């Protein structure tokens, strides 16, 4: 259970802005072992999705991966030639996108799309691929899989579509599944079913899961480890118990306080004042300092480095560093 599936070091993704290229993902480090689930958490616009896309070199133009190293299943993604990259996509790591409504091709049956994904990475006949597709559908909990193979996307409900998307992503037996807000577009009961499905799949196949979300409730249910992102940078990482139970970074604390289920009962729900600054207009020093309740003298000037806490928990905060030092 300790095979390293994903290793990201110093990842920088830039987009051209008014004043040169600005980094929307700024020196992000991530690691993920087989069978592990890591949740990447943050508000909208903080660079989560861009991080996910860059893992498979899918950053849309004019964006560019400027620096860093990405290894998936032992292969260096950034130096891989195109044919090898293509076989890594889907087989090494597969993605499930946010919108099940638009992530399936409307003019092909879902079966045809699963079969395409299977035959892309494996030399199997059409009939064998169809049987595999039916098995996959049954595996992801689609009732009457044989018949559903011939359905068009518009004939399926949102939950069924997301299951079909997951089946497509699983077609080549990937070592890593990247799920970008997989349940955001679904209603709550379906959300729970999809999350259960993801957990079962991970347990059964030893697949690693990188879950991108802004919903801390989902994190609590699925993740082993959590990485919190703010304005293109990671600000706190650690095990789920520590980050959700004993968060140190003021941003993480603020996020947790704004969740009804996790906030103390009867207490007034708080929010973090202001909103995420847009890329290119990031504050100097600590990027969170204009919104931070604990900001003090060095925060606007000096970029805080990582402060190592117990059991692998780390936070990027001057206040935490001061607490630890004293």
Partner 1 sequence: MPLHIWINGAVALFVLGAAVATWRLRRNALWREAGRELWRRRPLALAFVALYSALALCDSISWIDAEGTGVREPRSLLVRAFPVDFQEASYSAPLADVEFYGGQPLQHPGAHWLGTDILGRDVLLQALRGARVALLVGGLTSLIAIPLALLFGVAAGYRGGWLDDLVLFLISVLFAMPGLLLLIALIMALGRGPVQVCVALGVTGWVSFARLARGETLKLRELDYVQAARALGVSELRIIVRHVVPNLMHLVVITFVLMFSSLVLTEAVLAWLGLGIDGSWGQMIDRARDELSRDPIIWWNLTAASAALFGLILAVNLVGDAVRDILDPRTLRERA
Residues contributing to the site for partner 1 (CB under 8 A): 56, 58, 60, 85-91, 94-95, 97, 99, 102-109, 116-117, 120-121, 150, 152, 154-155, 165, 168-169, 171-172
How far is the C-alpha of 149 from the C-alpha of 129, rounded, in Å?
12
Around 84, how many Cα atoms within 13 Å sit in the side-chain half-sphere? 10
Encoded tokens for 152: 């068009």
| CA-closest candidate to residue 280, choices 18, 7, 101, 61 | 18
**Which letter does DSSP use for residue 58 in this model?**
-
Provide, rounded to whole angstroms, the least separation between the CB of residue 53 and partner 1. 8
Provide, rounded to whole angstroms, the least separation between the CB of residue 307 and partner 1. 36
> Is the backbone peptide bond immediately before 62 cis, with ω within 30 degrees of 0?
yes
Provide, rounded to whole angstroms, the least separation between the CB of residue 289 and partner 1. 35
Answer for the pair 256, 262: CB distance below 8 angstroms, yes or no: yes
Provide, rounded to whole angstroms, the least separation between the CB of residue 56 and partner 1. 6
How far is the C-alpha of 202 from the C-alpha of 176, rounded, in Å?
10
Provide, rounded to whole angstroms, the least separation between the CB of residue 4 and partner 1. 22
Other Cβ atoms less than 10 A from the Cβ of 273: the count is 10
Nearer to partner 1, 95 or 295 (CB): 95
Provide, rounded to whole angstroms, the least separation between the CB of residue 183 and partner 1. 16
Encoded tokens for 145: 């899989």
Nearer to partner 1, 106 or 266 (CB): 106
How far is the C-alpha of 114 from the C-alpha of 164, rounded, in Å?
8
How far is the C-alpha of 240 from the C-alpha of 129, rounded, in Å?
39
Provide, rounded to whole angstroms, the least separation between the CB of residue 124 and partner 1. 16
Nearer to partner 1, 86 or 203 (CB): 86
Backbone angles phi, psi at 234, to 5 degrees: -75, 140
At a CB cut-off of 8 Å and minimum separation 6, what does 86 contact?
none
Nearer to partner 1, 76 or 150 (CB): 150
Provide, rounded to whole angstroms, the least separation between the CB of residue 58 and partner 1. 6
Which H or E element spans position 30?
Answer: strand 20-33
How far is the C-alpha of 138 from the C-alpha of 144, rounded, in Å?
8
Nearer to partner 1, 79 or 275 (CB): 79
Nearer to partner 1, 42 or 111 (CB): 111
Nearer to partner 1, 121 or 257 (CB): 121
Alpha-carbon dihedral 76, 79, 85, 88, rounded to 10 degrees: 0
Nearer to partner 1, 56 or 276 (CB): 56
């Amino acid at each position: 259970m300790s095979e390293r599936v994903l290793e990201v070091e110093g990842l920088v993704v830039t987009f051209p802005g008014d004043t040169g290229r600005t980094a929307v993902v700024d020196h992000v480090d991530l690691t993920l072992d087989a069978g592990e689930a890591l949740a990447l958490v943050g508000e909208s616009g903080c660079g989560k999705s861009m991080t996910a896309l860059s893992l498979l070199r899918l950053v849309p133009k004019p964006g560019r991966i400027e620096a860093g190293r990405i290894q998936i299943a032992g292969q260096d993604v950034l130096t891989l030639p195109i044919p090898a990259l293509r076989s890594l996509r889907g087989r090494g790591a597969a993605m499930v996108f946010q919108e099940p409504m638009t992530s399936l091709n409307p003019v092909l049956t879902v079966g045809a799309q699963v079969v395409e994904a299977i035959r892309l990475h494996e030399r199997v006949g059409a009939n064998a691929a169809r049987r595999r597709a039916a098995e996959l559908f049954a595996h992801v909990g689609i009732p009457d899989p044989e018949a559903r193979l011939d359905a068009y996307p518009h004939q399926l409900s949102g939950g069924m579509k997301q299951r079909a998307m997951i089946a497509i992503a699983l077609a080549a037996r990937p070592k890593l599944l990247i799920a970008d807000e997989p349940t955001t577009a679904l209603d709550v009961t379906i959300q729970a079913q999809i999350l259960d499905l993801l957990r079962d799949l991970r347990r059964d196949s030893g697949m690693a899961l990188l879950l991108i979300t802004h919903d801390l409730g989902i994190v609590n249910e699925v993740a082993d480890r959590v990485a919190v992102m703010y304005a293109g940078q990671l600000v706190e990482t650690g095990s789920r118990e520590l980050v959700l139970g004993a968060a140190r970074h003021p941003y993480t604390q603020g996020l947790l306080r704004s969740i009804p289920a996790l906030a103390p009962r009867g207490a007034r729900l708080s929010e973090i004042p202001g909103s995420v600054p847009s890329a290119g207009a990031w504050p100097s020093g600590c990027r969170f300092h204009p919104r931070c309740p604990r900001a003090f003298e060095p925060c606007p000037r000096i970029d805080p480095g990582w402060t190592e806490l117990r059991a692998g928990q780390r936070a990027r905060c001057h206040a935490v560093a001061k607490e630890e030092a004293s």
